[in-house]
Structure 1
Amino acid sequence: MDMNVDGRLKNVFWADARSRASNEYFGEVDTFDTIYLTNRYEMSFAPFVGVNYHGQLILLGAGLIFNEDTETFTWLFQSWLNCMGDEAPKAIITDQDRAMKNANAITFVFSNTRHRFCLWHILKKVPEKFGSHGAYKDGLKSQLLKCVYDSQTIEEFEKCWEVMITIYNLKENAWLQSLYAARTYWAPVFLKEVFWAGMSTTQRSESMNAFFDGYVHARTNLKEFVDQFDNALKKKIENENAADFHSFNVTIPVVSISPLEKIF
Structure 2
Amino acid sequence: MGFSIRKAYANKNKHTKEITSQTFVCYKEESQGIDKRDPLVKNPRQEVRCGYGARFSIKLDRISGKYIACDFVEHHNHDLVPQDRIYMLPSQRQISTTQAIEVELTLESGIRLRSAYELFVQLDCEEQISNIFWADTQMIMDYAQFGDVVTFDTTYKLNNEHKHFGSFVEFNHHRETVIFSAALMYDETVESFTWLFQIFLEAMSNKAPKTIFTYQDAAIAKAIPIVIPDTNHRLFGMSTTQLSKSFNAFLMDYLNCDHNLMEFFMHFERVLYEKRYKELEAEYNLSQKLPKVSIPTLMLEQVAEIYTKTIFEEFQNEYVQSIETSIIGTIHDGESTIFTIRTVVDGKKR
Q: Secondary structure at the match of 1:36?
A: strand
The one-character-per-residue Cα deviations of 1:139-175 (angstroms, maximum 9, x if unpaired) are xxxxxxxxxxxxxxxxxxxxxxxxxxxxxxxxxxxxx
Size of the aligned set, in residue pairs, is 183
Other-structure match for 1:37? 157
Other-structure match for 1:225? 264
Question: Equivalents in 1 of 2:241, 2:198: separation in Å?
Answer: 21
Match of 2:186 among 66, 78, 82: 66
1:81-100 paired onto structure 2 within 5 Å: 81-96=201-216, 98=217, 100=218
1:126-137 paired onto structure 2 within 5 Å: none
Aligned-pair distance for 1:262? 2.6
Question: Equivalents in 2 of 1:41, 1:224: separation in Å?
Answer: 17
Q: 1:38 to 1:249 in 2, by over 3 A?
A: same
Aligned-pair distance for 1:10? 0.7
The one-character-per-residue Cα deviations of 1:2-34 (angstroms, maximum 9, x if unpaired) are 112222111000001000111111110000111
Larger CA deviation: 23-32 vs 248-257 = 248-257
Contact kept? 2:164, 2:184, Cα under 8 Å: yes
Higher relative contact order (CA 8 A, sep 6+): 1
Aligned-pair distance for 1:88? 0.8
What's the TM-score once normalised by structure 2's chain length?
0.50
Contact kept? 1:30, 1:92, Cα under 8 Å: yes
Aligned-pair distance for 1:64? 0.5
**Runs (5+) with no aligned partner, structure 1:** 121-199
Residue 48 (str. 1) matches residue 48 (str. 2): no
Larger CA deviation: 210-219 vs 221-230 = 210-219
**Runs (5+) with no aligned partner, structure 2:** 1-120, 304-350
The structure in which a higher percent of residues are strand is: 2
1:108 partner amino acid: I
Larger CA deviation: 206-215 vs 19-28 = 206-215
Other-structure match for 2:290? 251
Structure showing greater radius of gyration is 2
Contact kept? 2:158, 2:255, Cα under 8 Å: no
Question: Equivalents in 2 of 1:258, 1:208: separation in Å?
Answer: 37
The one-character-per-residue Cα deviations of 1:194-224 (angstroms, maximum 9, x if unpaired) are xxxxxx5243233222222111112222111
Other-structure match for 1:18? 138
The structure in which a higher percent of residues are helix is: 1
Give the ranges of 4+ consecutive aligned residues of structure 1 lying more than 3 Å apart after TM superposition: none
Question: Equivalents in 2 of 1:206, 1:80: separation in Å?
Answer: 23
Aligned-pair distance for 1:41? 5.1
The one-character-per-residue Cα deviations of 1:20-75 (angstroms, maximum 9, x if unpaired) are 11111111000011111233653110000022111111101010011122111111
What's the TM-score once normalised by structure 1's chain length?
0.66
Question: Equivalents in 2 of 1:202, 1:62: separation in Å?
Answer: 18
Contact kept? 1:13, 1:76, Cα under 8 Å: yes
> Identity rate of aligned residues, in percent?
35
Aligned-pair distance for 1:232? 1.3
